[in-house]
Structure 1
Amino acid sequence: MTAATLRRLRGSMIAMAVASVALSACAPTEIPVEVRIANAAPAVSVRARGETVPVGTTNADAADDPAIWRNAANPAESLIVGTDKKAGVYVYGLDGKVRDFSNAGAVNNIDLRDTVTINGAPGILVAASDRNDLANAKLALFRLDPATAKLAPLGKVDAGAGEAYGVCFYQAADALYAFMVAKDGTINQVAIDASGATPTGRIVRTLKLGTQSEGCAVDERTGRLYVAEEDVGLWRFDATANGSTTPVKIAAADNRNIVADAEGVAIAPVGERDGYVIVSSQGDNAYAVYRLTDDSYVGRFRIVDGMIGGSEETDGIDLMLGDFGPNYPGGLFIAQDGHNAAAAQNFKLVAWDDIVKALGLK
């Protein structure tokens, strides 16, 4: 190697080292969660009354999204379905114990609807966003047997291009729809027909947000779809198949009321049109609440340690009002817990009455 070559080599190495230092200096520094909490809007405290058994995937971001089935005849026997996004779908009782597990692979969000016609008979239809093929989103469909708490796989339907992330049902007068939220912010509205031997799906229209999105929920009384765009905030769309595709921004991820990421979304319907939409403010371990009638900010709450641990870095949430037995007489709120101390991730169960009291809701 000549002296000139050595000089060129040393020069290249020095340039690379300088570039590396410069990039490191420009790289954003993550703000500690304690600082994010201190800078965010105040949040009232509530405590969980129950929790599920941790998911089977340990040492990983695995538990993701819950959905609730209420047993009207015996509310204390209601069920919860929840995803382990590395492995499949769990069914839990309100005692938090595992009742069933379906090895569905990489699934993300989940939702369910009761009294859906399945193979010619009414049943509980469960849909999980299936991301086993990262280029092609699918809906993995199951029947949930309320008597045995067992899941029976029904098959998969196509839900458009891209990586499957969020999913939520919308039972309209004309059809049952599932909104598939792809990772890039594309939202496909899929008409679902599970009445035959094999379920089918048909994309009827496509909505769009600009960046990574996931959590969604529909207020079926008003036909409004709510979607969380992770670094941007909370949006709503017209959920009807022939409605406007233009989104309306409800709240920004402003590091005050919502601290990015904006994640799970849930609806608390009250009366004919009133109630609340709740979004997970993942960046500061809180949940922001907005009024459905006028999109106004109501307040925030946080699930803190008590007899049962609190929740942190929540992905998916779900909420259902009504009697769920003596521990949850007014309704049940469920949040994924991204830490769960030394154990694998799980889901925390909170009485809606406790949230109403803490926030002074009516």
Structure 2
Amino acid sequence: MAAFAKFVTAGSGALLPVLFLSSCASVAEFPRPSYPAVDVAATAETAPVGSANADAADDPAIWRNAANPAASLIVVTDKKAGLYVYGLDGKVRDFVATGALNNVDLREVRPGFVLVAASDRTDVAEPKITLFRLDGVTGKLTSLGVRSFLGAGHAPAEAYGFCMGKALAAGELARAYVVLKDGTVAESALEEVGGMITARHLRSIRFRTQSEGCVVDDRIGLLYVAEEDVGIWRVDLRAAVLQADAFAMVGAEKGLAADVEGLALAPEGRDGGMLVASSQGDNAYALFDLTTAQPRGRFRIAAGQFGATSDTDGIELMLGHFGPAFPTGLFVAQDGDNAPRAQNFKMVPWQAVLDNLKP
């Protein structure tokens, strides 16, 4: 891999470096392999999204109801139509027609205020973030508006991937990371000003080829980004200048097949645990040690009562008690082929994954 940098002007007027990372060739040019993986079964699924006969379902986010974990909610994108909210029984709690929202994330920014945000690619030349408030009791979404964040003078760019991290400065609700389709990852501060949430662009880092999946480890301030045909990069958000280090590159050594899509975390202790990646190229999910970046196993969601998954885009994982059906954690994966019905999302007890990975 080669790297080179150029400087761009941030919203404050300061010059900030944007790092470009390049690879010699796209992995997608070569035949896709299939690496060994253990099988697990989904124990629940969502109702299909409304866009039939289309690549529509894309990315999930989980809100855990601390008072009643079995009443937790899953928010997902139908990138042709809008946002769905599902219960753990897979039934629709709400749908908001908002256009082409690609990836979604959420966090409880203060008690009782669950902020939902998504990358808005309705305008392929002007990337935006669309904001909502989630009512944990009713499962209903309330629109908080659409925000531009790059400012005037930027080149046309399409919003694609999206994830959020915790606030890193006073006055912020959270940090937003929009992965543009050209490989740029733009960091913005989500701030509440006069009762309205704004998105203020701070800095960017750019990968050489198309990227999408991302996830933030709030414990130690690390951002993980999936460059689809290349692999997974790790970015230290605590640094003054954003730099990317190779974490797990596509290939047999790491058991990662392009395209690399959704990313999720299984944290443990102060800085340990695992990163989970959708290895879309061979319909599997690869696990990596967060500390050493070494492989920790692979699994597939196999055929069963709710069917197998294939061509998975977004994934989400949250540890903790979600009621008797998901006692130690919940893993959610988009299913790219739910024929004869439209695409949907499969749910797997995280303990079932861990049990099947044991030697």
Give the TM-score range, shorter chain: 0.7 to 0.9
In structure 2, distance between residues paired with 1:234 and 1:251: 5
Alignment correspondent of 2:39: 45
CA distance in structure 2 between the partners assigned to 1:146 and 1:103 by the alignment: 19
Question: Quick check: 1:218–1:239 contact (8 Å CA) kept in 2?
Answer: no
Shift of the 106–255 alpha-carbon distance from structure 1 to 2, 3 Å rule, reads farther
Q: What's the counterpart of residue 73 of structure 1?
A: 67
Give the whole-Å Cα distance in 2 for the aligned partners of 1:30 and 1:49: 35
Supply the distance in 1 between the matched residues of 2:252 and 2:104 (Cα, whole angstroms).
27
Bigger CA drift: 71-80 or 168-177? 168-177
CA contact (8 A) 1:189 1:204 kept: yes
Partner of 1:100: 94
Q: 1:200 to 1:281 in 2, by over 3 A?
A: same
| 8 A contact 2:167–2:189 mirrored in 1 | no
Q: Look up the SS of the partner of 2:355 in the other structure.
A: helix
Which residue in the other structure is 1:162 paired with?
157
Q: 1:143 aligns with which of 123, 128, 133?
A: 133
> Quick one: distance in 2 between partners of 1:189 and 1:157?
14
Contact residue 228 and residue 260 of structure 2 kept, 8 A? yes
Equivalent residue for 2:190, pick from 189, 192, 197: 192
RMSD value over aligned CA atoms? 1.7
CA distances 1:204-249 after superposition (whole Å, capped 9, x unpaired) = 1111111100000011001100010011111110123x44411111
Distance (whole Å) between structure 2 residues aligned to residue 30 and residue 307 of structure 1: 34
Q: Distance in 2 between matches of 1:282 and 1:202?
A: 33
Q: Secondary structure at the match of 2:127?
A: strand
> Any unmatched runs of 5+ in structure 1?
1-27
Per the TM alignment, residue 198 of structure 1 is displaced from its structure 2 partner at its CA by: 2.0
* Deviation (angstroms), 1:196: 3.6
Unpaired stretches in structure 2, ≥5 consecutive residues: 1-27, 151-155
> SS where residue 199 of structure 1 aligns?
strand
Q: Deviations over 1:282-318 (max 9, x none)?
A: 0110011101111111111100011110100000000
Please say if residues 55 and 63 of structure 1, whose CA atoms lie closer than 8 Å, have aligned partners that are also in contact: yes
The match for 1:204 is: 202
**Following the alignment from structure 1 to structure 2, what is the Cα–Cα distance between the partners of residues 343 and 307?**
15
Partners of 1:251 and 1:137 lie apart in 2 by 28
- Does the 8 Å contact 2:86/2:92 carry over to 1? yes
Structure 1 position 195, deviation (Å): 5.8
Secondary structure in 2 aligned to 1:313?
coil
1:30 Cα deviation after fit = 8.2
How many angstroms apart in 2 are the aligned matches of 1:78 and 1:166?
A: 24
**Normalized against structure 1, the TM-score is what?**
0.86
Match of 2:290 in 1: 292
1:251 is aligned, of 224, 248, 254, to 248
Q: What is the CA deviation profile of residues 340-360 of structure 1, one whole-angstrom value per residue up to 9, with x for unaligned ones?
A: 121100000010001111112
Look up the match of 2:121.
Answer: 131
Helix, strand or coil: the match of 2:196? coil
Q: After the TM superposition, which parts of structure 1 deviate over 3 Å for at least 4 consecutive aligned residues?
A: 28-31
- Whole-Å separation in 2 of the counterparts to 1:276 and 1:30: 29
- Report the CA distance shift for 1:196/1:150 in structure 2 as closer, same or farther (over 3 A): farther
1:309 aligns with 307
The answer (yes or no) to whether the contact 1:282–1:315 under 8 Å persists in 2 is yes
Q: Deviations over 1:152-203 (max 9, x none)?
A: 0001111335111111111034231010100111000010014643210111
Residues 34-86 of structure 1 show CA distances to partners (whole Å, capped at 9, x for unaligned) of xx4xx433111111010000000000000000000000110000000000000
The 8 Å contact of residues 136 and 159 in structure 1, kept in 2 or not, is answered as: no
Match of 1:81, as an amino acid? V
CA distance in 2, matches of 1:95, 1:80: 10
Deviates more, 1:68-77 or 1:150-159: 150-159
Percent of aligned pairs sharing the same letter: 54
Question: Normalization by structure 2: what TM-score?
Answer: 0.87
* Superposed displacement of residue 322, structure 1: 0.1
Q: 1:283 aligns with which of 267, 270, 281?
A: 281
Do the aligned residues in 2 keep the contact of 1:172 with 1:220 (CA within 8 Å)? Answer: no
Counterpart contact for 1:78–1:93, Cα < 8 Å: yes
Q: Does 1:63 align with 2:57?
A: yes
Mapped to 2, the partners of 1:284 and 1:126 lie a distance apart of: 31
Q: Which is richer in strand?
A: 2
Instruction: Name whichever of 278-287 and 194-203 sits farther off.
Output: 194-203
Structure with greater Cα Rg: 1
- Give the Cα–Cα distance (whole angstroms) in 2 for the partners of residues 245 and 29 of structure 1: 30
